[in-house]
Structure 1
């Protein structure tokens, strides 16, 4: 072994191969849970129940806050409209009349033209006569 090869090896930072004990314990626990589907299902059910209990206690203890603003004044609830059109007066409707489109503007037409010219190389072309099978 020559001296230069030894120097190259020693200048590279060493990586720790041993995992941290907490990380290893967590990984072992996760591997055990993957094997025990019943235990995994039990943990899932417990977490869902805990979330439901938390939602219920929040509603009982703190739901009154949703009716007040940051200054403690009562919020006025705006009444919902009886009818609201699904069509926009600002954005033109598409051909299927569900989603608006900006293609009727000058910028939209320019974008469509640019897309057409940039994608010409990817389109199928008719082969010349000498390249077609005889």
Structure 2
């Protein structure tokens, strides 16, 4: 792969069959967009990015994320020692983390249903719940009368 201005393009030419299948207007648009992509490490502008097809946009996005991830790893490797010391140059004590931590909150509900259900203890919520129950009573299944039972 060849790297150009932060974008990765394949150095292999597409097949002749592939080139013949692409409409002329699309080829011209792709050529114009490719010519408008800045070089020299400059970033792709929003207008240029909007002209690209979805697959190319996704590829550019993945490359940007990978560059960001590699940058964070490089920073940790080169400058991570700075996090071990405070402003005066004295070593920071390591943070003590509990051995076992639950991912669920004891105070806040963890789901939207929990958000709804956690507020049903108020009188207004009880009244609304009662109204909903009565409103939907006609839609519930119920036992048929003896006259309607055929067995």
Bin for the TM-score computed over the shorter chain: 0.3 to 0.5
Greater C-alpha radius of gyration? 1
- Which structure has more relative contact order (CA 8 Å, sep 6+)? It is 2
> Structure 1 length normalisation: TM-score?
0.41
